[in-house]
Structure 1
C-alpha cells in the first residue's frame, strides 16, 4: 500500500492504512484531552499504535506533514503504566525515543516527536500539538 493515498472506505481527507482510516490534524493544535474529544466527534479515537507496521505508516505521514502529533496513550492514572486510553489496553508494542518516557515535570501523554525522528515521547498533556485520529475503515 502506498503511503498518503486516500482509499475506499475512508471519509474525505482521511488516509487508509490496513483496516483503519487516519486523519492527521495539523490546522488546529490542541491539548491532548481536547484532541481526544475532537476525534470522538468524528466517531474516532486518538490513534493507538499496536504494531510496527502501523507505527512506520504514522511516522512516515507525520514526517511528511512535519510537526509533533499526539497519540492516544497516557499514564495519567497510574505512573509508568502506559495505556491506550480509548481501548483501555496496555502497551504491548512501543517505540520510545532514547531516554523516554522520562516524566520530566509531569509528562503523561504520548506523542510522535520530530526531535526523536518521530519516535515516541511523553509530554505534558496541556501542551498544544497536532494529532492523529483513527477509526475503522
Structure 2
C-alpha cells in the first residue's frame, strides 16, 4: 500500500505529460521531419528502402523495384548507408545488389560505383550472367554469383 501511495505522484505526472492540455491543438510535424515513404518502407537520407522476403532472380527483383517511382535494387553509396541497411536487413539471407554492364560492375540505378566491400577471393571475374550478392555469412561482404539464383531483395527509391 505504501508503494502505491508513493507511485501516485509519478503516475499523475506521467499522465499529465502524456495527455494534451484541453483546448490545445496538436502541433504538426514539420514536413522535413515527416517520411514520404510508403507504409512499411524505411526512410534514410533522401531515400526509401523496402525489404522483400520472397526470393527472386536479379532481373525479376530489379523489375519489381522499378514498379516504384525511381525505384531500383539497392545501391550502396557509402559506409553510413551500409550501416543503415545492415540494421534494417539484420543479416537475413543474401541480397542482390550489383550486375555487370559492358564488362564493369554497375548499380542498376546508374549511381556512381565508388563504395566496394568484396569478400576475399571476389570478384572471381566480371562474367555475363553474374551478379553480386550481399552475404551475411561473409560479414555483409559481396560475392559474385549467378543472376539466376533467387534471393531476397531490397528496393531503394527517392523519398
**TM-score category by the smaller chain?**
0.7 to 0.9
Shift of 1:107: 6.1
Report if aligned partners of 2:72, 2:108 keep a CA contact under 8 Å in 1: no
Deviation (angstroms), 1:105: 8.1
**CA distance in structure 2 between the aligned counterparts of 1:50 and 1:119, rounded to whole angstroms:** 14
Cα 1:92–1:101 shift into 2, 3 Å: same
After superposition, residues 1-137 of structure 1 pair within 5 angstroms as 8-26=35-53, 28-43=54-69, 44-63=71-90, 66-71=92-97, 73-78=98-103, 81-87=104-110, 89-103=111-125, 108-137=130-159
Once residues 128 and 66 of structure 2 are traced to their aligned partners in structure 1, the CA distance between those partners, rounded to angstroms, is 25
**Residue in 1 that maps onto 2:21:** none
Q: Which protein shows a greater Rg? A: 2
- 1:62 deviation in Å? 2.1
Q: Return the alpha-carbon distance in structure 2 between the equivalents of residues 56 and 131 of structure 1.
A: 17
Please give the TM-score of this superposition, normalised by the length of structure 1: 0.81
- CA 1:59–1:83: 2 relative to 1, 3 Å: same
- TM-score, normalised relative to structure 2: 0.71
Give the paired residue count.
125
Q: Which structure is higher in RCO with an 8 Å CA cutoff and minimum separation 6?
A: 1
Task: List 4+ stretches of structure 1 deviating above 3 A.
Answer: 103-107
Measured on the aligned residues, the alpha-carbon RMSD in Å equals 2.0
More helix by share: 2
Deviations 1:4-31, CA, capped at 9 Å, x for gaps: xxx61110110011110000111x2000
Name structure 2 gaps, 5 residues minimum.
1-33
SS in 1 for 2:90: helix
